[in-house]
Amino acid sequence: MDNYPPGAANDPNAPYNQVDTPEKEFEVTCCQVLSRTVTVVTNDYIPGASGCDYEPDGEGGYSACGWQDDDDTSETNWSKEYEENGYHTPLQLIQMLKDYLQKDLEEWQKKDAETPHSGPAFHVRRLTHLIEECDGFDEDEIEFSL
């Protein structure tokens, strides 16, 4: 303590007296709401009515006025249509990614077993981590709308 100024040894704010807070695990929920707008092709709807009205034009003649009601999709199963158009939900995409990564991991594990200590272990660790990252997602709510 000869190198410290008088009273410094007892100063709790001095850098040499600071104690690091130990690391601790906490369970954290990350809640995210995602949306995606895509074009879905379907014939599962009721076409809107259309027609042509003729109205006097004020000069003794008539003018045509066309109209079109909106198509009725109130009974359309958008979840089914979304899937049939080849689209995937985020959870489906995560599962597909996980399956792809699992196959890639198996290849790297095989290479690592054939040539230990040559570098593939990095890829094995990275892929293992990414596969683990694909787990634990829940779909709390899903909604389809126009």
Q: Distance (Å, rounded) from C-alpha 39 to C-alpha 15?
A: 60
Q: Which two tokens stand for residue 80?
A: 């089914």
Q: pLDDT confidence of 118, banded at 50, 70, 90? A: low
Render pLDDT for 6-27 as a digit per residue (tens, 0 to 9).
766 677 777 777 788 899 999 9
Q: Which residues contact 84 (CB under 8 A, 6 or more apart)?
A: none
